[in-house]
């Protein structure tokens, strides 16, 4: 009597476990090497997360990561045009100069779906993925599907060098 219902539950349980067993490695394979958090958020197994984290941690100093670039500066103030900006993809930062001598920095990751912004022109930071534009002064969205502002990034301007603070 209990055998048929136990068998049905057992089959459902096994089916669910089999789906999870196939799904987790597939989700882990979709993760980016650049962002170990993505693989963890997708539910990857614990065995892949430490190796990705160790890999990125051990390669960061040799590649000149943002912490190594900060003392030397990301760029020179003369490289950022008034009314323009520059994107530093490795550091996921966009630096703008809305008016002469005023430098602003924001996350270069679009708040819509996580693409890196692609350009700074005509007073806006532009994301080509889905057409969002953001104010180069405040990071607030001006058009497109993005509904929230780019996060402000602290920078230091020392002499003619701009570095992450």
Look at the chain and report how many structural domains it folds into: 2
Q: Do residues 81 and 145 share a domain? A: yes
The model's pTM is: 0.57
Kindly report, residue by residue over 97-142, the tens digit of the pLDDT: 999 999 999 999 999 999 999 999 999 999 999 999 999 999 999 9
Cα separation, 1 vs 146, whole angstroms = 57
Cα separation, 13 vs 17, whole angstroms = 6
Q: Do residues 88 and 130 share a domain? A: yes
Q: Compute CA distances 41 → 35, 36, 84, 104, 115, whole Å.
A: 10, 9, 35, 30, 17
CB 102 within 8 A of CB 127: no
Q: Do residues 74 and 55 share a domain? A: no
CA contacts within 13 A on the Cβ side of 123:
5
Cα separation, 61 vs 69, whole angstroms = 10
Domain of 126? 68-164
Q: Do residues 136 and 155 share a domain? A: yes
Q: Do residues 54 and 120 share a domain? A: no
Kindly report, residue by residue over 30-62, the tens digit of the pLDDT: 444 444 443 333 333 333 333 333 333 333 333
């Amino acid at each position: 009597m209990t055998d048929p219902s136990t068998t049905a539950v057992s089959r459902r349980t096994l089916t669910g476990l089999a789906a999870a067993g196939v799904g987790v490695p597939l989700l882990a394979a979709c993760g980016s090497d650049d962002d170990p958090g993505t693989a963890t958020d997708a539910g990857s197994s614990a065995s892949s997360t430490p190796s990705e984290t160790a890999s990125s941690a051990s390669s960061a100093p040799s590649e000149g990561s943002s912490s190594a670039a900060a003392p030397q500066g990301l760029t020179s103030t003369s490289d950022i045009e008034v009314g323009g900006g520059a994107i530093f993809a490795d550091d996921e930062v966009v630096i703008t100069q809305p008016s002469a001598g005023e430098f602003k920095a924001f996350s270069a990751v679009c708040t819509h779906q996580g693409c890196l912004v692609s350009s700074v022109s005509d007073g806006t930071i532009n994301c080509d993925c889905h057409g969002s534009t953001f104010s180069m002064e405040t990071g607030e969205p001006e058009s497109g599907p993005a509904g929230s502002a780019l996060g402000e990034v602290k920078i230091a301007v020392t002499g003619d060098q701009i570095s992450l603070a």
